[in-house]
Structure 1
Amino acid sequence: MAEDPLFELAGPLRAAYAGIDWEATGLGEPCTWSPALRSTLALALETRFAMALFWGPDLVLLYNEAFVQLIADKHPAALGRRTQDVFAEAWDQIGPMMRSVVEDAAPTWVVDAEVPLQRSGFLEECYFTFSYSPVRGPEGRVEGVVDIVTETTRQVVARRRLQVLTRLDQALAGVSSAAALVDLAVRELREDPGDLPEVVVCSGALADPVVLESVGGPGQGTLARIALPAPDPRAAQHHLRLRLSDRLALDGEYVDFLRSLAGALQQSLELLAARESDRQLSEALQRSLLTRPAHGPALQVAVRYQPAAEKARVGGDWYDAYVLPDGALAVMVGDVAGHDQDAAAAMGQLRNLTRGVAYSARLALPARVLSDLDRAMAGLGVDEVATAVLAVVEDGGPDGQLLHWSNAGHPPPVLVTAEGTARLLEEVPDLLLGLDPDTPRADHRLRLRPGDTLLLYTDGLVERRDAGLSDGLAWLVEAVSGWGGTDPEDLCDHLLDAVGEHEDDLVLLVLRARA
């Protein structure tokens, strides 16, 4: 029988069309095909878009050259067969859609729909955007369904992988230890079972950032290993063992994704090591400047400095206690805005400036010292902002000690009487240091009776992300109530135990008038 001229439009598929026993398909010889089938197939064969027809009661499959790229090794056996047999793995999904188009004579359309295909020797994760539309004969009866389709697998998988990398970068940005980084990375990667169905931490170093261990062909499983370099080369080495998807080919894009994961982890570990180095330097600088406090003959002084639990926030808190030329004792706590090396360096500069100003003053009233400090900061170009409380304690004889203090925007001191009653010294605080050298500053006075205790501190003791400052101050008053007459060292230990893990570094200075 002569070849039907319709097949001349099939191009490279011409021989495949001519070789089908069309009578056996149920469609009959091509010369008997309806005008709707012949015209729709001609349209499909002459377009460069992927198109397929599902025709007749059995929805027999016909398609053009572009459609072959989507079904891979299903061609040429798929041509002229029942669609249900060709796409048995996806029939539960696409079958009802085709039947609804035939029965309702209404089109349907989906975007980026996952349609698994057994097309390259394994069941593959595939995505398509496609439209099923009815094809009517002269009498309006639906004779078949036309499918115009675009594969979007690469775009969908690439978008998913980009989202994984973005979430990983965001999650790892604030980690404070290598162990936390690994734990968080594993949790994030386990949220991507499409590409990484299994993620396990294993011991041992790797020679390369990514090592592939094929245990079979596509669809039979592949293992990959990603290095986890330790910030400290003396520490135990670990890596991630990843089982890759058996529904995706291990192509160049998959390998690039693994290398991007390895790069993200490596970069996060390097940043972590740099932050840890900065933190250690800041803490060492800070501790070197926080010398042992002086004691007066009628006074006991205890101090504590503790770095933040969140290591990136170490840097700007300080205390000081020293004897002035007239025998009075000056005590101070302060907090420079900012953290790490810059704040630690600024803290040392302000602490030493205050000492010099106070020691050389003819009358070391705290308000005057802080005003002179403000002017010195402006004149010397010390471009920092800080809060501070400066107090000067003079011998008041048998009735106790005379306390003068001035507050530059700092949390209020706490007085604990010998009987254990605690209250905040809530005078209105003056402006922070470093904002206006001409701002007026006020002195406040009270008498420390024998056994009374003064507590100075920085905001790391009372500030929490989940509570306001007023809540923290109320907690502090309650925490020290009943501790009048207590040894200052014991009171410091009590407060550090009570506060537990804290989000900012903190300083305590406890001064007690001897009974």
Structure 2
Amino acid sequence: MSSDWFDLATQGTESGELARSIDWSATSIGAPDTWPKTLRAAVRLCFSTRFPIFIAWGPELLMIYNDGYRPMLGEDKHPSAMGSPASIVWAEIWPDIEPLFDSVLATGIPTWSKDQPLLMNRSGYDEETAFTFSYSPLRDEEGTICGVMDVATETTDHVVDARRLQTLGTLTAALQRLQGDVDELAAATVAVLGRSQDVTRADLYLDSSAGLVPFASTHERHDESVPPHVLREVADRRRLDHVGSALVAPLAATRDRVAAGVIVLEGNPHRPDDDAQRSFLQLVASAVGTALSSTLAQIRQVDELRTVANALQDAMLPDDPTAPGWHTRYRPADDSLLIGGDWYDVVDLSDGRFGLVVGDCVGKGLRAAAVMGQLRSASRALLLENLGPAATLEGLDRFARTLPGAELATVLCAIVDENARTITYSAAGHLPPLVVNKAETCWLNDGRGTPLALTILPRQEATAELDSGDAVILYTDGLVERRGEHLSEGLRRLADVALAIREERPAADLPDALLAELLSGGARDDVALLLYEVP
């Protein structure tokens, strides 16, 4: 049953044809020609625009909607929604929107909802949606509110896309910040994706000699729904695959010939498994794969450089003395290096004579280590020419003037004669040796001079006698110097600690015990220590 105005208002649209086909007189709102003017005007507006509008009228809030509103209903609700109560059509979201209807019907004040999340079942599954809409009152001839007009637009794609972009941005920023550590990178990945509404699950596998091994997951356990052979094929071929709704992707950068592993991603089950969701998951996989590839490449480069550097540094370190009574220790301040600017050397001069050198170059790191290596080689060559300590230092003075970075290096050179039980020594700005036995300590303070390359005057040397049981300690300043403390305090501490240890323990225990006691907080500077125990 229709009126002329109703036919005119609803013509030209599929929803309008559906509305005309309904016997409205059998419903609670009656035939169209009995409708109040406000409802008639609302119906005309509804069917004259392509903007999504639906009208809910009468005690049952029966629905009338236009073609613009049909996509919001989905495949399952249209066309049965036309003329049906809104509470039945939108049963799954009625607890969310019923208060809005009640408010408008009771107060006459329009509502406004922006990007309102609603979990709808309009296509055969519970679907996450978002809408911006306004409910407005509709009145009858007497001014009584009898219905509601909804002007709405769906913003689901906008909301979901913005959220996915935020996830990608947060993930990318975290991965860029943490490149260099695989464990931290994996932890950041699962932390970011574990908070995302658009990733239900993320499992990471790393390729190893034992095959693909579970490495990190947003859950306590890795999902086993993806067969191992699929994981293997994805890693080997570096191609995407899908198992159900899960994306299985290789962890690799674009130019990598070998994948570092595999990532399995499950999208949001409340969003369609469409191109948009799959593209998002692929971008996540690409970001993680690129970061992991870069991190592993960086680790490999660092390992290769460390191997080369260690080999070069190892070649600079002298062999440990084979004669009894000699003990050497070296501890660099930089944990990434085997050596630094400090050095020691023990040279067997035959006939029970040994040349000793302990030195300290200005600076730290590889540059200081390179200078140190050349000075050590030069000092060994001079000692093997049977030059005395003073003459050896004079030769190093001349050499240091030709070697940038060697100026101001401090060196102590000595010759121990085991048969004569003597030590002859000369110091180029270096700290004095300490002689300690079970009863007392003694500093060898003679034969002193300036650091290398600062003088052309002859170097001085001195000789001291040694007694059975004496321990002669040569060292660099990292063992005794402390920031904000006078050097004399550090020297006194060394003497006190050495005497206390020697009173209770053999001389062979002194090197390790001194390092443990004096460097308990870690080495702040390179430390070289050489100890000779008089038989």
SS in 1 for 2:30: coil
Decide which of 357, 376, 400 is 1:329's aligned counterpart: 357
Q: Closer, same or farther in 2 for the Cα pair 1:271/1:319, shift >3 Å?
A: farther
Decide which of 185, 189, 194 is 2:193's aligned counterpart: 189
Match of 1:412 in 2: none
| Matching residue's letter, 1:72 | G
Q: Does 1:142 align with 2:172?
A: no
Give the CA deviation at 1:85: 0.5
* Separation in 1, partners of 2:172, 2:514: 40
* Separation in 2, partners of 1:469, 1:113: 64
Decide which of 233, 238, 241 is 1:211's aligned counterpart: 241
Give the CA deviation at 1:65: 1.7
Q: Does 1:293 align with 2:297?
A: no
Decide which of 154, 164, 170 is 2:173's aligned counterpart: 170
* Separation in 2, partners of 1:75, 1:7: 20
| Matching residue's letter, 1:147 | D
| Matching residue's letter, 2:48 | E
Q: Closer, same or farther in 2 for the Cα pair 1:401/1:30, shift >3 Å?
A: farther
SS in 2 for 1:147: strand
Q: Closer, same or farther in 2 for the Cα pair 1:153/1:317, shift >3 Å?
A: farther
SS in 1 for 2:124: coil
Decide which of 281, 285, 289 is 1:258's aligned counterpart: 281
| Matching residue's letter, 1:211 | D
Match of 1:411 in 2: none
SS in 2 for 1:293: coil
Give the CA deviation at 1:275: 0.9
Match of 2:28 in 1: 26
| Matching residue's letter, 1:320 | W
SS in 2 for 1:91: helix
Match of 2:155 in 1: 152
CA contact (8 A) 2:2 2:33 kept: no
* Separation in 2, partners of 1:92, 1:9: 34
Decide which of 92, 104, 109 is 2:107's aligned counterpart: 104
Counterparts of residues 486-505 of structure 1 (less than 5 Å): 487=509, 490-491=512-513
Give the CA deviation at 1:88: 0.7
Q: What is the TM-score normalised by the length of structure 2? A: 0.64
Counterparts of residues 280-359 of structure 1 (less than 5 Å): 280-290=303-313, 291-293=316-318, 300-304=327-331, 319-322=342-345, 329-332=357-360, 346=367, 349-351=370-372
Match of 2:45 in 1: 43
CA contact (8 A) 1:282 1:315 kept: no
Give the CA deviation at 1:416: 12
Q: Closer, same or farther in 2 for the Cα pair 1:394/1:377, shift >3 Å?
A: closer
* Separation in 1, partners of 2:135, 2:361: 75
After superposition, what is the alpha-carbon deviation per residue over 1:243-279, rounded to whole angstroms, capped at 9, x for unaligned?
Answer: 4433211111111112112212221222122211221
Match of 1:95 in 2: 98
* Separation in 1, partners of 2:112, 2:100: 9
Match of 2:404 in 1: 376
| Matching residue's letter, 2:242 | L
* Separation in 1, partners of 2:197, 2:153: 25
* Separation in 2, partners of 1:227, 1:72: 36
After superposition, what is the alpha-carbon deviation per residue over 1:113-154, rounded to whole angstroms, capped at 9, x for unaligned?
Answer: 210111112111111222223334565533322222222222
Q: Does 1:114 align with 2:117?
A: yes
* Separation in 1, partners of 2:430, 2:9: 98
SS in 2 for 1:90: helix
CA contact (8 A) 1:107 1:134 kept: yes
SS in 2 for 1:196: strand
CA contact (8 A) 2:357 2:414 kept: no
Q: Closer, same or farther in 2 for the Cα pair 1:144/1:294, shift >3 Å?
A: same
| Count of residue correspondences | 437
Q: Does 1:59 align with 2:61?
A: yes
* Separation in 2, partners of 1:372, 1:134: 97
CA contact (8 A) 1:316 1:335 kept: no
* Separation in 2, partners of 1:18, 1:42: 13
Match of 1:437 in 2: none
SS in 2 for 1:146: strand
Higher-RCO chain (CA-CA 8 Å, sequence separation at least 6): 1
Decide which of 71, 74, 77 is 1:69's aligned counterpart: 71
Give the CA deviation at 1:490: 3.2
| Matching residue's letter, 1:188 | V
After superposition, what is the alpha-carbon deviation per residue over 1:421-475, rounded to whole angstroms, capped at 9, x for unaligned?
Answer: 9xxxxxxxxxxxxxxxxxxxxxxxxx9x9455646669xxx9xxxxx999xxx9x
Give the CA deviation at 1:284: 1.7
* Separation in 2, partners of 1:486, 1:392: 24
| Matching residue's letter, 1:490 | D
Q: Closer, same or farther in 2 for the Cα pair 1:369/1:20, shift >3 Å?
A: farther
RMSD over equivalenced CA pairs, Å: 5.2
CA contact (8 A) 2:238 2:259 kept: no
Q: Closer, same or farther in 2 for the Cα pair 1:237/1:498, shift >3 Å?
A: farther
Match of 2:126 in 1: 123
Decide which of 11, 14, 27 is 1:12's aligned counterpart: 14
| Matching residue's letter, 1:302 | R
Q: Identity percentage over the alignment?
A: 24
Give the CA deviation at 1:168: 2.8
Give the CA deviation at 1:321: 3.2
SS in 2 for 1:108: coil
| Matching residue's letter, 2:328 | V
CA contact (8 A) 1:198 1:244 kept: no
CA contact (8 A) 2:131 2:154 kept: yes
Give the CA deviation at 1:99: 1.1
SS in 2 for 1:131: strand
Give the CA deviation at 1:82: 0.9
CA contact (8 A) 2:53 2:149 kept: yes
Counterparts of residues 223-234 of structure 1 (less than 5 Å): 223-228=246-251
Give the CA deviation at 1:15: 0.9
* Separation in 2, partners of 1:163, 1:389: 57
After superposition, what is the alpha-carbon deviation per residue over 1:361-387, rounded to whole angstroms, capped at 9, x for unaligned?
Answer: 99969xx999969x9369xxxxxxxxx
Q: Closer, same or farther in 2 for the Cα pair 1:303/1:8, shift >3 Å?
A: same
Structure 2: 5+ residue stretches without partners: 204-221, 348-353, 383-389, 417-421, 441-463, 465-469
Largest Rg, 1 or 2: 2
* Separation in 2, partners of 1:94, 1:132: 10
Give the CA deviation at 1:12: 3.2
After superposition, what is the alpha-carbon deviation per residue over 1:378-437, rounded to whole angstroms, capped at 9, x for unaligned?
Answer: 9xxxxxxxxx99542244996997766589xxxxxxx9988999xxxxxxxxxxxxxxxx
